[in-house]
Structure 1
Amino acid sequence: MNLTTKLTLGAFAGGALLVIAVLPAEYGIDPTGLGETFGLDALSTKPITIAQFDGDLSFNVGDYDPTAERIDQSVQGLIHLEDAPFHSEVIDIQIEDYGEVEYKFVMPADTTFVYSWQVLEAQGDGVYYDFHGHPSSDDAVNFPEGFEMAYARGEGLTQSGSFTAPFAGYHGFYFMNIEEGPITVRLSISGYWDESKEMYRAINGEVVTNEAF
């Protein structure tokens, strides 16, 4: 078979493939009817109709209705806008043998952070932790005497979660080392707070740091 014959047969085969297979499968065009016979027309791309929005979008804040089929306005409580970008930090908290540390974040009410802490290279039970908050000294008169709100307590090696401050004040973590020897608790946190600092530290019951709230 000479070269001209080969090229002619190749062109014929390519054209047949285009008519029988490609057109029905890709474009829904089936001049021979074989596309329908072999089910190739079902593979064709169908036009997508985009429904036009026919409602009036309102930006008035409304109450959340979990039974609503659609929401056409902003919903109070589902979004809280801030004046500044969020913070993002990784804080290594060194805790001595028989040590205790309290690390707090000063937060306005309704602000949020997401967090994850873990005891690095733990050999035992990790830490006793107490995640809690209380008002500042200036706001304490608006709360019961000695008011403190607990969010999570227990023992472990790690915890992750999100938190929204129920009131303005100091919110954060107390860790007690229940390992043998000094440890490091790595706290990764992103969100909104005015400042953060170590508020309390003790070693074997002896207070080293005790910041006023």
Structure 2
Amino acid sequence: MNLPSKLTLGALGAGALLTVAVLPAEYGIDPTGLGQKLGLTALAQEAGTPAAFEGEMSFNIGAYDPTAERINQSVQGLIHLEDAPFHNEVIDIEIEDYGEVEYKFIMPADTTFVYSWEVLDAVGEGVYYDFHGHPSSDDAVNYPEGFEMAYAKGEGLTQSGSFTTPFAGYHGFYFMNIEEGPITLRLNIAGYWEDSKEMYRAIKGEVVHSEEF
């Protein structure tokens, strides 16, 4: 027998072994029926080969209606519908030498904004910043005394990001000027909020403006 014939027979033998033994024993696939007779398919069942999925998958989405004006259900987390257009503002915040400012956005729970802030014409370290949130005075009784949630803090000249409120209340930024001399910090922000305002201002530790939350 020449070499090609030996290779052909070898390939045929390997194929037969795969069909008769390996597929029934490993995967429970038995095209010839010999695997069941030889008890090989039982090995696949004992090994815990997953059975074919026969259930019905469901998602939290409603039936698609192309004529609907509003779809009230969607995959959780992909879209959150709002009743009004988003805000888009550029806010310049002047901070005196040794000054501190807290600027907050009043927002419902599960609403979002994207933002970038930067110190204009910086010559030093920029600002110390503390991005945090806390409930309004009316909601404070539902939280531990003095509750607030920190999101980010540090020192720098700029920061960009996106944010989704974990609870309703006041969310925003505290900035402390660590430059030499007065600065302008520009906040570019777009998203959903009910109101925004400066909540606190101090110069050299002396409070010059403060509002209740």
Q: Distance in 1 between matches of 2:157 and 2:117?
A: 8
Q: Note if contact 2:86-2:192 (Cα within 8 Å) is conserved in structure 1.
A: yes
Counterpart residue type for residue 158 of structure 2: T
Are 1:101 and 2:104 an aligned pair? no
Per the alignment, residue 166 of structure 1 pairs with: 166
Per the alignment, residue 188 of structure 2 pairs with: 188
Identical pairs, percent:
84
Per the alignment, residue 123 of structure 2 pairs with: 123
Q: Note if contact 2:105-2:195 (Cα within 8 Å) is conserved in structure 1.
A: yes
Per the alignment, residue 62 of structure 2 pairs with: 60
Q: Note if contact 2:126-2:157 (Cα within 8 Å) is conserved in structure 1.
A: yes
Displacement of 1:74? 2.4
User: Any residues of structure 2 matched to 1:1-213 within 5 Å, and which?
Assistant: 59-60=61-62, 74-213=74-213
Q: Distance in 2 between matches of 1:123 and 1:96?
A: 15
* TM-score, length of structure 1 as denominator length: 0.67
Q: Pick closer, same or farther for the CA change 1:111–1:58 going to 2, 3 Å.
A: closer
SS at match of 2:117: strand
Structure 2 gap ranges (5+): 1-58, 64-72
Structure 1 gap ranges (5+): 1-56, 62-72
Counterpart residue type for residue 148 of structure 2: E
Count of residue correspondences: 146
Q: Pick closer, same or farther for the CA change 1:58–1:124 going to 2, 3 Å.
A: closer
String of CA shifts for 1:100-120, please: whole Å, max 9, x gaps. Answer: 000000000000000000000
* TM-score, length of structure 2 as denominator length: 0.67
Tell me the C-alpha RMSD between the 2 structures. Answer: 1.6
SS at match of 1:193: coil
Following TM superposition, the consecutive aligned residue runs of length 4 or more in structure 1 with deviations greater than 3 angstroms are: none
Q: Distance in 1 between matches of 2:158 and 2:83?
A: 32
Displacement of 1:76? 1.3
